[in-house]
Amino acid sequence: MRIDIVSVFPEYFDVLNLSLFGKAQAKGLLEVATHNLRDWTHDVHHSVDDTPVGGGAGMVMKPEVWAECLDELLGPDELLGSQPSVLIFPNPSAPLFTQRDATELSRASHLLFGCGRYEGYDARIPEYYRAQGVDVREYSIGDYVLNGGEVATSVMLEAITRLIPDFMGNPESIVEESYTGEGALLEHRQYTKPAEWRGLRVPDVLLSGDHGKVDRFRRDEALARTDKIRPDLIETLDCTQLDKADRKT
């Protein structure tokens, strides 16, 4: 997967050389390039923003600078709609980014992230590229406002790339996780050894060696925790996503 990130603070992404993300680049699974939006400015101050039309506080990112940058990074083929790039703008007033989006985007061959700053970017930027046939997404990572799109991009990138085959050392570790698969629930709680620590015991069933009972216990716990913490996820389950024992609880 090729990943391009545009930001006025590209140094934010120096951390991408660490940990599993760094290893994935070394293995050739990911090819990552960061770009400074100011490299596409022509004025002496390298301005990327201007005052909001209609008045109001703060500054808005200018469409001309973004367009010069995005035209170059997408290339002429993409602008003719023949390359499978996905152009992603983090935006607090967009639909929420979910595990489902991460799964879909983990199959893309090229992701291009545009990090907003200030009061955000001119609304015509995503509108223009959508009209050119580019697959444009705007996502919020949560109901709060950050200073810029860099952290939101890092969050989405981590969620997406860990789902790429061979990214994780142990691929099994992404199969049974919160929000994952059909009828996604929150995961059951996890324990390691020792069986008793500071007077707190691991549930006996987990020590029983009976895999059927362990699976049932974990499934029940996942359902109970999801019902308590995220009842909205339970409401979206249909009866095909419940087993016989679930329906009794």
Binding residues for ligand SAM, rule: CB under 6 A, are 90-93, 115-117, 119-121, 140-142, 144-149, 152
- Max Cα distance, the chain (Å): 71
Q: Does 128 appear as a known binding residue?
A: no
Shortest distance (Å) from residue 247 CB to ligand SAM: 37
**CB atoms inside a 10 Å sphere around CB 59:** 16
Shortest distance (Å) from residue 125 CB to ligand SAM: 11
Q: Does 145 appear as a known binding residue?
A: yes
Shortest distance (Å) from residue 91 CB to ligand SAM: 5
List b or e across 77-114, with b for residues whose CB sees 16 or more CB atoms inside 10 angstroms: ebeeeeeebbbbbbbbeeeebeeebbbebbebebbbbb
Q: Is the dihedral of CA 122, 127, 129, 134 positive or negative?
A: positive
* Cβ closest to ligand SAM, residue 137 vs residue 188: 137
Q: Does 199 appear as a known binding residue?
A: no
Q: Does 146 appear as a known binding residue?
A: yes
Q: Does 141 appear as a known binding residue?
A: yes
* Cβ closest to ligand SAM, residue 5 vs residue 16: 5
Residue nearest to ligand SAM (CB): 116
Which of 94, 69, 87 lies closest to 131, judged by CA? 87
DSSP annotation of 6 reads E
Shortest distance (Å) from residue 149 CB to ligand SAM: 3
Angle between helices 19-26 and 149-161 (to 10 degrees): 60
Q: Does 116 appear as a known binding residue?
A: yes
* Cβ closest to ligand SAM, residue 88 vs residue 184: 88
Strand partners, 247: none
* Cβ closest to ligand SAM, residue 24 vs residue 116: 116
**CB atoms inside a 10 Å sphere around CB 31:** 12
Shortest distance (Å) from residue 88 CB to ligand SAM: 10
Report the C-alpha gap between 68 and 71 in whole angstroms: 5
* Cβ closest to ligand SAM, residue 81 vs residue 142: 142
Rg (CA), the chain: 22
Q: Which residues are annotated as a binding site for S-adenosyl-L-methionine?
A: 116, 141-146
Q: Which residues are annotated as a binding site?
A: 116, 141-146
